[in-house]
Structure 1
């Protein structure tokens, strides 16, 4: 796989998936989404694996969706846009639909769609100094693609996070219940290994039964539907004047200056 590293520790019954795109801060695109889905399904089907740990190589976990145009270089229609977003969401829902629990191990930056990827995992541990934010909504797109934040934060805190919060540290993300636990950066690997080992020590049928039961309850609460609604609203936002203005500003002054202007009220 071009964008991932995949490994299995058969003796400990632990699989690992590492995002590895140092050229673009581990940003995800259509190919990366395909590879994440394929990697999870491969490990989920591996009888040696009881739990999977997801992490990012380099300075951070993931910087979110990779910026850029459509695969063909031509503007997307609203229908094409929503179909791409839904397809990506459905691929990532393989993590949610499978039998094998996944732990997100987060360090450095975790931005935009990367946070939604973390929310698809069963458990998450972050370094205390990691950074969580969804800055894209300040310039382009009207909604997170998967719209999973209310399930972690509740509706009021989700609005606070998306609308007025510059970013959360790993410690704050744990306090907000965006992740399960924040630990010192030097202890992150040890904590992830400890949690993975504890899950791997359990009977596989007990793990699967519990995961299926909780998934059904999440479905009853609207988890799967939220993923579809988010894609619809994100595509709607992409076709609006705010996104056009954002693209025009990037073209005029460059991405770095456009980001500075976009985030000036959040400094």
Structure 2
């Protein structure tokens, strides 16, 4: 009984010490985590400064790129049609309207975290009066993401957002939309500014390098030509292999002929002897 009592007492003491040690460890982990969080916050501030610096440095190059793009007809509509996500949102009439799109610009605000603006500049067109359409994303006083955009001044009978029966273009057929909304509906949709997929795609994917999407068909053609060349090379190798096999067979046949002649000569010599 005494031994059992001592064992139980020691066990409880051990548990108490173990729990105390774990509690102290948790407190230390919390202190270390606070230091990590402090460094992460400091890093975010430093990264923000670097982003602000390089945003300014990039501006002259964006301007130069826009000037060069202006020399290429239908650059932006081609870029959008070639982009897998954007093309799925384009109806035939949307694509027609975007043929008048002459320039696209993305501007991130000074502190970057507060938001950005996308500007679309259009030539004179039969769809709307606006020379430019913009959509802006920022944060309100409560810290919630919000958006606002230019009101589109549609010409009589040309409001594409009211035509729910647009036919998807060829690229858009990959997605099953019985009645696709117009691309221009995006300008009036402010339901979820914090998760605006099209805005994020344009800002983070297309704007940094639109040329990669403008050239998509050409790149695919080149890849296709490469595949043809590989096929031709394989066919050529097969032809060579077949030719070598045929030559080998001819050599074997010739070899049999020589052996036959040698046997005849040996037979004749034996007869003479």
Higher share of residues assigned helix: 2
Higher share of residues assigned strand: 1
Task: Specify the TM-score bucket, using the shorter chain as the normaliser.
Answer: under 0.3
TM-score by length of 1: 0.21
Higher relative contact order (CA 8 A, sep 6+): 1
TM-score by length of 2: 0.21
Larger Rg: 2
